[in-house]
Structure 1
């Protein structure tokens, strides 16, 4: 494991150059075992809320690492009817290529565990996003979606044939100029070819509870703490 960490840090030191010079050198692979907080590559959201349907405040202390080397995102309650979630994101943006994660979502009505790439007005860009999301009300399914210049409505729900909250599986999307293809454990599950996003975004993960979206997520019952676990993340450029 120590050797893996050294390899990852080596990638980080040249990542900004490799990502954008990769067309001449071949595909760049960024892979990180999520065994500790590497501040060169990852940031923890802290002290603010996304508002709207997000019924929680992001807390850096809710993104921690387990003894067996997994990133653990927590949903907790600091006081009555006050909730804290967790969000983890890269310090850099990725463009076209394949994003993969090994993860285990949380299971409970009214919550979402996610893996996605995002950029938006806070980055000085249009809102472009590609999503893999698990609705805690039914973790035998996964939801794929994307936004282009703030326009979404591309949801696709897939039956997994297993309960994702019970073990680690690999989820991925391959983003190309004319398509997005989603995979589960290496098997293609969905492909979109219309109005595809164009702006590079940060790789992100979060766990949150919703409000005012019971028809989508189910009603959150206040259960806590709840946890989503992430084993590793990989990005392979074109």
Structure 2
């Protein structure tokens, strides 16, 4: 199906199904499969992602290196996040231009720029499926991520975090799925991983989580590879995922995980997102 026809069908279906609202029948599979929001990224090259759905977070030093002593300064520049004119959102991590004075947490100035987009306050998933078709960058010191944070107003990690996918530095074929909560966070986060047939930067894949009552299942290209339930926690009462959660897309550079970039690290290193689709129950 060509992109204009697919986009028309997706948007028509989204309108018919409604943009938000909570359903008492979320346990029924036919309800969980209903599309209620999508981002298809149609638009002219260089256009910024629409502000009605996306926020662009900026900075580094005031964010204390984004909690991981990272080296990128997030900008709202089109050079770091924009549509490509072919139906994709492109997030690019780049070496900072010569003479840039972008305040960094671990050093005077940040040597890289990148972008961090979120749907906080605009689009949330309560229960259902988050599905993102994307091509992720690989290379030493890179950490691209597609993930969700909770909207419960609690300070992290009690806020709850679901990492839909992360690809770490020099492990170009390994995709990590992780959940963080009150008693399981950072290196104690609970998750799994799977291996792609080729580097994550070579092909598009559909990265997804199915977020159902007391169960989260991660999959790639429709194949589940990890499921988390409260029973797998040391303290089952620390399950914090029965809430609205918003999306985040970003490329981090350097820091404790995945380590420092080097001369082989590509610049620009790009995350190309074909679409983001939410099914089930939420707000969009």
TM-score using structure 1 length = 0.84
Would the alpha carbon gap of residues 40 and 2 (structure 1) be closer, same or farther in structure 2, given more than 3 Å must change?
Answer: farther
- Residues 90-105 of structure 1: pairs in structure 2 closer than 5 A: 90=119, 91-105=122-136
For structure 1, the 5+ residue unaligned runs are: none
2:101 corresponds to: none
Q: CA deviation at 1:127?
A: 1.8
The one of 87, 90, 102 equivalent to 1:69 is: 87
The one of 68, 71, 81 equivalent to 1:55 is: 71
Question: Does the aligned pair in 2 maintain the 1:105–1:139 contact within 8 Å?
Answer: no
Higher alpha-carbon Rg: 2
Q: Does 1:165 align with 2:201?
A: yes
The one of 145, 162, 185 equivalent to 1:114 is: 145
Question: Does the aligned pair in 2 maintain the 1:99–1:234 contact within 8 Å?
Answer: yes
The one of 109, 112, 117 equivalent to 1:88 is: 117
Would the alpha carbon gap of residues 136 and 8 (structure 1) be closer, same or farther in structure 2, given more than 3 Å must change?
Answer: farther
2:261 corresponds to: 220
Q: Does 1:32 align with 2:65?
A: no
| Separation (CA, whole Å) in 2 of partners of 1:63 and 1:46 | 12
Question: Does the aligned pair in 1 maintain the 2:151–2:244 contact within 8 Å?
Answer: no
1:204 corresponds to: 248
| Separation (CA, whole Å) in 1 of partners of 2:97 and 2:276 | 33
Q: CA deviation at 1:185?
A: 0.5
Q: CA deviation at 1:134?
A: 1.2
The one of 27, 51, 56 equivalent to 1:44 is: 56
Q: By percentage of residues, which structure has more strand? A: 1
Question: Does the aligned pair in 2 maintain the 1:77–1:84 contact within 8 Å?
Answer: yes
Question: Does the aligned pair in 2 maintain the 1:5–1:33 contact within 8 Å?
Answer: no
| Separation (CA, whole Å) in 1 of partners of 2:12 and 2:245 | 21
| Separation (CA, whole Å) in 2 of partners of 1:57 and 1:9 | 38
Q: CA deviation at 1:227?
A: 1.0
Q: Does 1:21 align with 2:22?
A: yes
| Separation (CA, whole Å) in 2 of partners of 1:84 and 1:7 | 33
The one of 154, 161, 166 equivalent to 1:129 is: 161
| Separation (CA, whole Å) in 2 of partners of 1:113 and 1:190 | 20
The one of 146, 149, 171 equivalent to 2:179 is: 146
Question: Does the aligned pair in 1 maintain the 2:88–2:272 contact within 8 Å?
Answer: yes
Would the alpha carbon gap of residues 191 and 163 (structure 1) be closer, same or farther in structure 2, given more than 3 Å must change?
Answer: same
Q: CA deviation at 1:184?
A: 0.8
TM-score using structure 2 length = 0.71
Question: Does the aligned pair in 2 maintain the 1:46–1:58 contact within 8 Å?
Answer: yes
- Over residues 8-65 of structure 1, what are the superposed CA-to-partner deviations in whole Å (9 max), with x where a residue is unaligned? 49958x96xx432344694541222123422222222234564231222211111111
Q: CA deviation at 1:142?
A: 0.1
Would the alpha carbon gap of residues 170 and 235 (structure 1) be closer, same or farther in structure 2, given more than 3 Å must change?
Answer: same
Please report the RMSD computed on the Cα atoms of aligned residues, expressed in angstroms: 2.9
The one of 141, 152, 156 equivalent to 2:192 is: 156
| Separation (CA, whole Å) in 2 of partners of 1:155 and 1:24 | 28
